[in-house]
Structure 1
Amino acid sequence: MIRKKCYKEFIAIFTFIFVLMVNHSVYAIEWEDKEVPINFKIEILPWEIVNNTIPNRTNFTIIDIETGLSFKVQRRAGSHHADAQPLTKDDTQIMKKIYHNQWSWKRRAIIVLINNQMIAASMNGMPHGAGALQNGFSGHFCIHFYGSLTHRLKNEDPAHKLMILKAAGKLDEYLGTVSPYELIHIFTIAMNQGDRKLLSMTLSNPDHSNRFIKLAESITYFGVRDFSGQPLEDANGLILVDVPVQVKIYKEREGSENKIIHFMIRRESLTDRWFIDQDAIYEDLK
């Protein structure tokens, strides 16, 4: 039984990595071997269901979307999200490798593999609080699912929400529903999370965003302080919106700067989704 379970996990991880190599978008795959039934459909499940699926002391596997690396964890606590710990020292090292050998609060899109299910989730990479396992990890880290809440503010974390959508392959669909102002907030999250894919998806000409990505990597903090102009009540009849925003920017070599930048947000037609004009925002930030 244990051998079959390990085999199922191996097949799931191997197939997921193969799909990741072929295409960065994640698709549902049907598995035909009835002896090893695995659901390759990545699900977005509400926290109320996941809370019962992975009760405390449950071991499960995490797969990182960007790298394809996987490691085992155990849920230890958490009432509105899962507080988890890497299972062994080897698992801790894999997790640290995912975070480029530097623990970080940055969110990452992950898949939780439990039994025959693959569940879209998001994790941070910073040890904090209490930890009980002998794993070389001083504390626990947080895993959020759809509808999870933070410890302190008891609200849904926007960055975790975006990573859950990314894990499920739903980012493009979600971006098609947001307003120009919501797109600016998503851009801000992508900048501060250092998420190249998400950042590119907010920009016009996303396939030619290397120049902007290089500029973004020199900015260690990007914060929206205020929207300078009167917010539009309705942009439904527009294809171009100029949104002046007061921002605070921090660059390692230049320090912090407060300035007003103009987000030129456009779309090709009234039925298309919004994009941030890449050339205009580059000129404002360089």
Structure 2
Amino acid sequence: MKEIYDGKWSWKRRAILIHYEDYVIAASMHGMPHGGGALANSFPGHFCIHFKDSTTHRSKSLDLSHQVMVHKAGGLLTPYIKQLEPKQIVELFFVALNQQDLDLLTHIYHDQTGDGVKLLEQVESIRLAKQKNTPTVDGPLVYELPLSFLVKEKNKREVGSFYTFRVKRESPTSEWKLESLPLNLIQ
């Protein structure tokens, strides 16, 4: 299993297909052994496979990054993203950076300057700071969400950052897109 993760255990999600009898089922997995139940097989614990609407065993909530990979495996990524709420689009930005997934980033941001590639090349990980965030604008066409988060650039230490994400759509029936990216993350 380490082969699909460049020889290292990883929490990064992967879109997978489960073959069972005559069925092919879209799913998502990560490559990090965790928890109990280790067998004598050089795999210290278990790893998780998620299906559509699966919840995590710890928080009992849907994991957006797993749901994205399930839909990607099933060939339904674009329609899935088109129906997401603006707050989920912002969350998907964090997923795209942590997964190093340019395809995912281009689904939520029209990158005409290569900014997305720059972020993916330089950001190793990014995570929200533990605090409640309230949108400053929550309308039918524009949504703004100020967030504090921690970002780790490659070969640097993790630092705190702040950015107000602005998500827009052309009409009440069109999909939400990020208006810009927090380029202040990379110096």
TM-score bracket, normalised by the shorter chain, equals 0.7 to 0.9
Q: Does 1:267 align with 2:169?
A: yes
| Pairs aligned (count) | 184
Instruction: Kindly provide the CA deviation profile for residues 108-134 of structure 1, in whole angstroms up to 9, marking residues without a partner as x.
Output: 111101111110111110123324364
Q: CA RMSD in A?
A: 2.5
Q: Which runs of 5+ in 2 are unaligned?
A: none
Query: Aligned residue for 2:20?
Result: 114
Greater C-alpha radius of gyration = 1
Instruction: Kindly provide the CA deviation profile for residues 235-273 of structure 1, in whole angstroms up to 9, marking residues without a partner as x.
Output: 22x2x4443322222223442222321323223344321
Distance 1:126 1:246 in 2: 27
Q: Which has the higher helix share?
A: 1
Letter in structure 2 aligned against 1:161: Q
Residues 115 and 178 from structure 1, CA distance in 2 versus in 1: closer, same or farther, beyond 3 angstroms? same
Which aligned pairs between 1:193-272 and structure 2 lie closer than 5 A?
Answer: 193-205=99-111, 208=112, 210-225=114-129, 226=131, 230-233=135-138, 235-236=139-140, 238=141, 240-272=142-174
Residues 256 and 179 from structure 1, CA distance in 2 versus in 1: closer, same or farther, beyond 3 angstroms? same
Which aligned pairs between 1:120-135 and structure 2 lie closer than 5 A?
Answer: 120-128=26-34, 129-132=36-39, 134=41
Residues 175 and 217 from structure 1, CA distance in 2 versus in 1: closer, same or farther, beyond 3 angstroms? same
Query: Aligned residue for 2:184?
Result: 284
Letter in structure 1 aligned against 2:105: L
SS at match of 1:217: helix
So what's the TM-score if we normalise by structure 2? 0.82
Q: CA deviation at 1:229?
A: 5.7
Q: CA deviation at 1:183?
A: 0.7
Q: Which runs of 5+ in 1 are unaligned?
A: 1-94
SS at match of 1:159: helix
Residues 284 and 218 from structure 1, CA distance in 2 versus in 1: closer, same or farther, beyond 3 angstroms? same
Which aligned pairs between 1:78-93 and structure 2 lie closer than 5 A?
Answer: none
Identify the structure with bigger relative contact order (alpha carbons < 8 Å, sequence gap 6+): 2
So what's the TM-score if we normalise by structure 1? 0.56
Which aligned pairs between 1:1-286 and structure 2 lie closer than 5 A?
Answer: 95-128=1-34, 129-132=36-39, 134=41, 136-205=42-111, 208=112, 210-225=114-129, 226=131, 230-233=135-138, 235-236=139-140, 238=141, 240-277=142-179, 280-286=180-186
Distance 2:156 2:43 in 1: 35
Question: 1:212–1:282: 8 Å Cα contact kept in structure 2?
Answer: no
SS at match of 1:281: coil
Question: 1:243–1:262: 8 Å Cα contact kept in structure 2?
Answer: yes
Question: 1:229–1:244: 8 Å Cα contact kept in structure 2?
Answer: yes
Instruction: Kindly provide the CA deviation profile for residues 141-188 of structure 1, in whole angstroms up to 9, marking residues without a partner as x.
Output: 211112323232233322212211111122211221222222101111
